[in-house]
Structure 1
């Protein structure tokens, strides 16, 4: 064979080899076998997007950040069923995955957000439920573990199953940082796209930055949101925070067909226009309860953006910092909040700038003025329900703030310390 022939064969061979490599690459890509570009780790800055660690409707906010039982609770607890998937709250790198004192097993992820190292800490998992290892890069919304009840939980066992989430800024958990309240941090960088991540996490329930803008008193509330249809409820008499909440609920939950707002009542929330009652269709059904749970979780998750004071759903009081307690039986489905989610906002003032302190009721046939504030002697505490030496103090405490009754204070004292 001459040199020209050998050269032609060589060229043909190279071309065939390149075609073979190309075909193999295409086939691998179709099978999902080619390496991805790789998640953005803690050594690379991200766009600051964040998401909730559990999917909407799968959790209930319980113990929040702050003083608890004489110590500082460094995170936010998410009560959920065992094995509920836990997702990374942002892009990052796993720096710890294994046993940890008090947590049973934990996962710690470091994130570089706008040049600052931030750590997210996930606690109380079991070893078999941890799906990542130290040094691994993870993406926002990627499943990393499952809810457990390992370590120190109250109560112990499956009934105490929850995710304990901590957020450490200023260098992270192992870089000299400090623990902060996770909820405002999650709020401030929410992923407003609502897209499901490639890892399969559910969309974030957090409001987008535009939606969470605070409306000043004296201005139209929620001007970027359509007014609540009159067929669902009336905005007249409501303060701006309550108007904004009602409009947001109508937009987010089209299943809701009735919302009650300002009205006469023996408590100040509704007469002052700070509260709304979100009625749940078919509340005794499984779908009805699930809808109420979703609305309650959404409101509590976005409590900072929506300026929430507290809510009541299914006879349970929920504060924005995770505290909750079972209320006394008031003798009926509506009185016990079994058919509606009651939400009291901070208020924000009336859209027309009217002074806060007295309002005229909307109830048909009435035009009386109701003064807001605690009523003298309105203590709401059954005699003998608390130790005798504490009863006068609970009664006095129940007259200080219209949102905090004596019975609520007593229930908290019993839950937290057994009146000790």
Structure 2
């Protein structure tokens, strides 16, 4: 069965001749930025090569968390949670968001030390978080047979429905005045006087003074067409959706052998917390040195694979003209093949440990491509080399929960408003200016 069933968004038929900003990419980051810009009276066109939210924005775990993030992301995650709490009312649609709490089991002395710092860290944001022991853990997950030394329980964390969120935000952006263009790939940008003057789409040109690239795993390829180096690789993650389970837990859990969260339909999204595939592609060699620290730290969670994607992506290296079909048109939706063994093991462990899941059946499984930077922290930044060009990408598996906050920060940078949080940590130049690259949380 193909990827998850995303709430459909019908794109506009007419292509605008001119706007202030073109947003490339209709995932949750691009949709959130488009909504922010439109609500500020800035004319914006969101261009998506396929359908709204059909790639990683609908294929992720659906977690909305501030706990266990890289410290550089925490202020932005706090901003995102504030936005999520009022988002359904704002967009007048259901995103499935609720604050259900997330628990991270301590699996070692190092985990426990990491977990213990979070209650104090989050107190400044007035967000509830505490360490719990076996008794409290068992109250949250009655019947779960795990020997728990301790765990971090952050009640302020939550969940939302990935198949609903980006479409809901995009529809609200359209109601606020944005043009929403689906099956409308941007082939490239045009410049005049050394800065952005427009984009060329497969349906024709759009004049603009600014472009925001929120293209997820496609961002590095697009940036390269402008002569902009964006170190980014892709990781394949497989997810299971179960049938509804009566009496299942509300709180999301990250344990040693499995991770799960409740869905609106009563089923659960289940995944392995540590099994991912890194395909070897030409960019693996282009950016390999920058990713060595990440590879060393996460070697236990990565499985390298050489397959047909290498040949496919090698074909993209030659580039393309703006009057010819681009790779973005040839692959409307990246729909990687799921790897059953990576999730079957997690589900088997879950069933063995938690009787309430014993009768869980797999309703669907899918895979998605996580766009990763060398330090696992996103790029939300202007590009000095191309005035008027901005990037919001590389969310390294954190993009869904942080999406509304990232969209707001990107809109601030594009519009020249005071940034909602300090954007310094997210600058693109950190990979090239001699800064020490410190690995965040993958």
Output the TM-score relative to the length of structure 1. 0.27
Ranked by relative contact order (alpha carbons within 8 Å, sequence separation 6 or more), the top structure is 2
Higher helix proportion (structure 1 or 2): 2
Higher-Rg structure is 1
Output the TM-score relative to the length of structure 2. 0.26
